[in-house]
Structure formats: C-alpha cells, structure tokens
Amino acid sequence: MKTIEALDIKLIALDMDGTVLNEEQEISLENRKAIKEAIDQGVHVVISTGRSLKTLQKYLDTLELSSYLVTVNGSEIWDDTGVLMERSIVQNDLIQWMWELSKLHETNFWAISTEQVWHNELPTDLSTSEWLKFGFHIDDDQVRETVKKQLVENGLLEISNSSPFNLEVNPLGINKAKGLEAVCKKLNLTMENVMAVGDSLNDIAMIREAGLGVAMGNAQDIVKETADDITASNVEDGVAKAIRKWVLKY
C-alpha cells in the first residue's frame, strides 16, 4: 500500500470536462487561483483531456497555461512550446468500420481528425484525413453495451468513455497514462510525482498509474473505486480543493 501523504507531487494532471470545467463549461475562479498557485510554486500543471487542441485552446488562454499537453486521450502529446511530440493514428479501415457500426445501431457519433471534429457525418474519402479518435453517444444502455462488446471483440482498440452515455475509442494501448509517462520522461519525473484528477473511464489509467489518483465527487463509481482520494464535485471547486489539500498543503 502506497503512503500518499509522503508523495512528492511535482506534476498535476487534470482532465477538463467534468473535472476542471463546471456544468456551464467554465473554469471557476477558485480552480484558476489554485492552478496558478501551484504553477507559482514550481509544480507542472498538465491538461490531460479527451479534447482536441483546437477545442482546448480557449481554456489554456483563460488559465494562461504554457505547459505540456496530453490531448485526444493520449493520441497527441504536445510540448510546452506547442510543438507536437507524438501522434497515434486510428487506421482508416477501423474508422470506416465504426462509422458503419454507428449506422447499424442508429447511434450519434463524432470523430476527431488532426484537422477538425466531425459530428454525425464524415468525409466521403476517409483517406483525406488522419484520424485520432472515434466516439459514440448512446442513451440506450442495452445498445451501448452491444456496441461496446463489438468494439472489445475487435481487439485493436482502446475503449473508454467521457460520460456514462458515450464510448470513446483510441488506438489500442493509447490512453492518458501513456501520454503522461512520455511527459514525465521529458521532465525527468516519474509517475510517482504525479497527482491525476478526473471523473470518467478515460481517466482511470492515469488515476491508477499516478502516485496520487483523485476522483471527482461527480465521478463514475468505478473511477472513485480506483482512486486514492475523492474530492468535491466539478461544481464545488473539486480541483482547487484537491490541489490545496495535496500540493499546496492548506
């Protein structure tokens, strides 16, 4: 059993949706203040998100954050100057197969390419883009489980979610923990130096592998069961509370 009180946290990895962001998709004043205080104390703050860089940029500007980034669940890793370090692609035939799967089960879907986010439509020629992630939004529990079973049986895909009603699909072995390991290597840190905070299945890998894994108060149950600690919800400044408890120590 690890002694989390004795950990030397030098990097804070933060999910965005359901974690840093509240229900209005905004960053609260308390979260912004705590993140800035951590940075001022020399702690690295790394956003680790399912979002693409383009849909993340306005929040980075709000936080005045210039740091390493793990985006699209680890399919892209960016250095602190905005240069792409690593990119992992979902093959076109798998995107085609998942698109057909969504049509078969009449689900909503989205897909992230290196250029844009597509919603419920894709280009006629998939080879004109490089694909990073495919997502299904499925309200019906039975349909969602059926689709998930087929994705798992494919054997070439990493399956998670960012809400109880969706499925997110990356290349096998690509997740937020893998991305953070690459960042730690660049910074001469280990995952023991990381506090990871999140709420969904796409956060489980980093919460499990970090020295300190923190689940949000609004997190899915399995995330709470995996975490070392549970903070307040995303509408109660849970990120700020976790930073103050474990990093700023007040």
Instruction: Tell me which residues are annotated as active site.
Output: 15
> In 21-107, where do the E strands start and end?
44-48, 69-71, 76-78, 84-87
Sheet arrangement for strand 157-160: 117-119, 108-113, 131-137, 166-171, 157-160
Q: 24-29 long-range contacts, Cβ below 8 Å, gap at least 24?
A: 27/59, 27/62, 27/63, 28/237, 28/240
- What letter represents residue 158's amino acid? E
**Amino acid occupying residue 166:** N
Name the pairing type of β-strands 11-14 and 229-230: unpaired
